[in-house]
Amino acid sequence: MKIGGSYELALPPARAYTVLQDPSILARCMPGCDHLNRIGETAEGHVAYEMKMKMAISSVQGLFAGTVKLADPNEPTSFRLIVEGSGKVGFMKGEGVLTFVANGTGTDVRYEGEVNVGGVIAGVGQRLLDVTAKHIIKKFFGKVAAAIGEME
Amino acid sequence: MSTTIATTEKLVGKSIRRREDPRLITGTATYVDDLKLPGMHHACILRSPHAAAKIRSLDISAAQSHPGVVAVFTGPDVAGVGPVPCGASLPGLRVPHHAILATDRVYYVGHAVAVVVATDRYVAADAIDLIEVDYEPTAAVADPEKALEPGAPAVHPEWPDNVSFTYHQEGGEPDKAFAEAEVVVKQRITSQRLVPMPMETRGCVAEYHTAEKSLTLWSSTQIPHLLRTLVGQMLGLSENRVRVITPEVGGGFGCKLNVYAEEALAGFVAMKIGKPVKWIESRRENFLCTIHGRGHVDYYEIAARRDGTVLGLRLKLIQDLGAYQQLLTPAIPTLSVLMMPGLYKFRNISADIIGVFTNCVPTDAYRGAGRPEATHGVERMMDLLAAELNMDPAEIRLKNFIGNDEFPYATATGLSYDSGDYAAPLKKALDMVNYHALREDQRKAREQGRLMGIGISTYGEICAFGPSPATPAGGWESATVKIDPSGKVTVLTGASPHGQGEETTFAQIAADELGVSIDDVIVFHGDTAIVQYGIGTFGSRGTAVGGAALFFALKDLKAKIKKFGEMMLESDDITFSGGVCTCNKTGNTVSLAQIAGMSYRAMRLPVNEEPGMQATRFWEPPNFAFPFGAHIVVTEIDRETGHVEVSRYVAVDDCGNIINPLLVAGQVHGGVAQGLGQSLWEQAVYDDTGQLITGELMDYAVPKATSMPWIETGHTVTPSPVNPLGVKGVGEAGTIGCSPAVVNSVVDALSPLGVRHIDMPMTPEKVWKILQGERI
């Protein structure tokens, strides 16, 4: 499933770029994120984190264990985010590019990518995948915005 | 004890209520999941979430040590078990090795990877989650046409073209017919994957008797004896040490006409742990792991003269096989080809089947099994031709039907149609809807801007499977009739039913032939230790083949009864009627109970007769039987929502002689429900990565009682000469006649907008998009 959209953050692009790469922010703001530990760099040079996150979709919910990778850094314009996880109810894989575009004093964070799920979560949750993904992304940026508010 | 003396009033032809129903509607029937054996364990199966992946490693240690878990088995453990069998053969058919558990690779979502056995079903389900599988996902392909494209992911790496088989059949001179045709119409027509969806999912209980080295397998199946033979082979058990029992079966629709990995797996587990084990398929598993039906992409071409005379039919049929060949998978599309001429005088036929592997659950027989697809194709093409020639769809059909004087009719596909009066049901259906007035109503509706459609389909189907040389297993059926010393009658049928009501219809036949009350007859089936070998119930064969076997067993028994009657009445001029032998000279009588008693007491025996009162017949049919009929569907479409309202449904079926009109109506109603399901709502959808995204009943729209229109049924009766009962079969007729009538009706409704074809299912969303001018 393709996803795409944008969210406005009240920070200049350079700051927004840093904030969205900050593991403590990511851990706090990713909905259902249980923990996020840096495990180093992959062979391809991606910064990798190990993560556990809870996800609920339709009548199915479960804990996903997997990795978050930050790749193709192009500070302060863009980077690629790769999230992979699997659990008892199936697996998920999301990959997308975040682009930072100055908008007045703030930044438009644009994202474009693809989410795939499999197993039970695909069989019973597909109908709600689109709205759930949008909801999770919105919640994530909402939390990031709130965290920024606290920091500033 | 006395035998009730029945009147000579015949039961065959009467609407007798199903004798099965009291136990079904009072909850006292026993299904597989109702079985509780001492020491019984429970199995749950870990299934692949990936459509295609290599299994890098598998760690079962945590599951093994989970409290309550007795055993965990994976692919290597079951390497000694034979593969899941494919019973169909075609020249050059590629049959992948289908192990009962995946070993190094998985080929579809739901592929069984490991089995956990525990003291409790919930413990087993919990422990499944403790198994760690390291998958390396590989590219998958779920669409049969995409699977044929160069560079498509290979489902089975050894066959990179994804082609399991190709099959060509030709009759007459199709090239010449198309060259000489005045008009040729072409259309791509799909018949989507469907989930057969019996209310009772699959399930089995296996118990191994270690000392006797024998296995008892209870399974929700349509074919107990074939299952015994094949599971015995898979497990290396001699067949006489395997007993298969089918308790109540809550629907099959073809999906239980199969041998599944889980049936052998349950046997394997029972043999390993020395305890009985139960496996019950969950509804989600049923979506993923029980065979699907249909899965066609058909390219049709019809050749005709401008006066509407059909000349030829061409078909390129792409069959989505899924990842494996189940019992009859590759045979199903060949049935489509056999029946592609329908009821018409197509003398020139050409068909090419391409059987394509995809990373999906296998397809196989689902109510109609290849014939709904064929009828859908030819009936859509007749309507497309009628539209092209500006002819009435009823008229073009009547013009091209095989004539009443042409039977037995040799088709261009090599069949011999047994008997027919093809115009009769169509004319009757046209009368029932008052066709000309209905077209006038439609004209007025269109003036008012309403979208009203009238759809006609006429169908012929191949039933009463079948002569043994033309079937993958035997095509005969067996029956035993036993009369107890007290004169009570037991019928054992090899055609193990699963909702067809044979306990009623077969009792009607036996009661009539023996002249006893139906209450004195019981019909028993579905236990290989009790019932002689049989084939099973599918392909509308129960009555036409199993009932015929019963008829002949009764005939043998009546001859024996008469011999005892002659001896006891000391006369060679007697009549057996109404359950008594009467001497035509003296009027003296002996009852069936007296005769049966004598046959077992055996103080005296007729010359050359043995004691006892029992007869068994295995009957081989000389041909298939070919029922036919006409369905007319009136629809009205809501412009705002795209909703298709079926305002009238008329089904006129000719299934030959009718044993029980109530049960025939029930078969038609059920068949139409499933036909409407395919026409309007149901579709098993795999996404591009091979995930089944319609994996629960929230996403897969099975018709409900409230979805159903009122069905007006009618009949014409053309007895089949193939069997002594003159029956043709009706189990699949409703489904086969339905979908083309519904699609023809909706296309007719939308024809003022320039619509000439719509593929199923015609969901509100799809129809709405068409109404918005989108191309579908």
Q: Rounded to whole angstroms, how far apart are CA atoms B245 and B228?
A: 9
Return the ∠ at Cα B186 (arms to B185 and B187), rounded to 5°: 130
**Looking at the domain that runs over B368-461+624-771, which CATH code has it been given?**
3.30.365.10
Fold of A2-147: Alpha-D-Glucose-1,6-Bisphosphate; Chain A, domain 4 (3.30.530)
Question: What does the pLDDT read at residue B3?
Answer: 44
B21-29+476-619 is classed in which CATH architecture?
2-Layer Sandwich (3.30)
Q: What is the 8-class DSSP label of residue B85?
A: P
A48-88: pLDDT as tens digits: 999 998 888 777 888 899 999 999 999 889 999 999 998 88
Domain range annotation of chain B = 21-29+476-619, 41-138+201-249+256-289, 368-461+624-771
Length of chain A: 152
Q: Rounded to whole angstroms, how far apart are CA atoms B143 and B163?
A: 13
Say which of B49, B698, B699 has its CB closest to residue A118.
Answer: B49
B662-711: pLDDT as tens digits: 999 999 999 999 999 999 999 999 999 999 999 999 899 999 999 999 99
Residue B420 near residue B404 (C-beta atoms within 8 A): yes
Pick the CATH number of B41-138+201-249+256-289 from 3.40.50.1010, 2.60.120.10, 3.90.1170.50, 3.40.50.300: 3.90.1170.50
Contact A127/B at CB under 8 A: yes
Say which of B50, B284, B694 has its CB closest to residue A118.
Answer: B50
A3-49: pLDDT as tens digits: 999 999 999 999 999 999 888 888 899 888 888 898 888 877 788 99
Say which of B129, B693, B698 has its CB closest to residue A122.
Answer: B693
Choose between B355 and A116: higher pLDDT.
B355
- Strands (E) located in B571-624: 574-577, 580-583, 589-591, 614-619
Contact A118/B at CB under 8 A: yes
Please state, as a whole number, how many other Cβ atoms lie within 10 Å of the Cβ of residue A35: 10
- Are B693 and A119 inside 8 Å of each other by CB? no
**Interface predicted TM-score (ipTM) of this complex, two decimals:** 0.84
Residue of B nearest to A62 (CA): B129
Nearest to B548 by CA among B477, B616, B487: B477
Domains B21-29+476-619 and B368-461+624-771 share a fold: yes
Enumerate the residues of chain A whose CB falls inside 8 A of the CB of residue B692.
122-123
Question: What does the pLDDT read at residue B7?
Answer: 52
Residues of chain B with pLDDT under 70: 1-8, 775-776
Interior/surface letters A64-91, b for 16+ CB within 10 angstroms, e for the rest: bebbbbbbeeeebebbbbbbbbbbbbbb
What residue type is assigned to position B670 of the chain?
Answer: G
Residue B289 near residue B112 (C-beta atoms within 8 A): yes
Residue B287 near residue B255 (C-beta atoms within 8 A): no
What residues contact A54, with CB distance under 8 A and at least 6 apart? A32, A34, A61, A62, A63, A64
What values do phi and psi take at B336, rounded to 5?
-60, -45
Contact B707/A at CB under 8 A: no
SS3 B287: helix
Question: What does the pLDDT read at residue B6?
Answer: 46
pLDDT higher than 80, residue A126: no
Q: Rounded to whole angstroms, how far apart are CA atoms B266 and B625?
A: 38
Domain range annotation of chain A = 2-147
Contact B118/A at CB under 8 A: no
- Are A124 and B284 inside 8 Å of each other by CB? yes
Residue B763 near residue B699 (C-beta atoms within 8 A): no
Contact B699/A at CB under 8 A: yes
H/E segment holding residue A19: helix A13-19
Chain A nearest-CA distance from B367, in A, is 24
Enumerate the residues of chain A whose CB falls inside 8 A of the CB of residue B691.
116-119, 122-123, 126
Contact A63/B at CB under 8 A: no
Say which of A86, A122, A127 has its CB closest to residue B698.
Answer: A127
Residue B479 near residue B496 (C-beta atoms within 8 A): no
Which of B46, B111, B689, B691 is best to mutate for the A interface (most A CBs within 10 A)?
B691
Q: Rounded to whole angstroms, how far apart are CA atoms B529 and B244?
A: 8
Q: What is the 8-class DSSP label of residue B440?
A: H
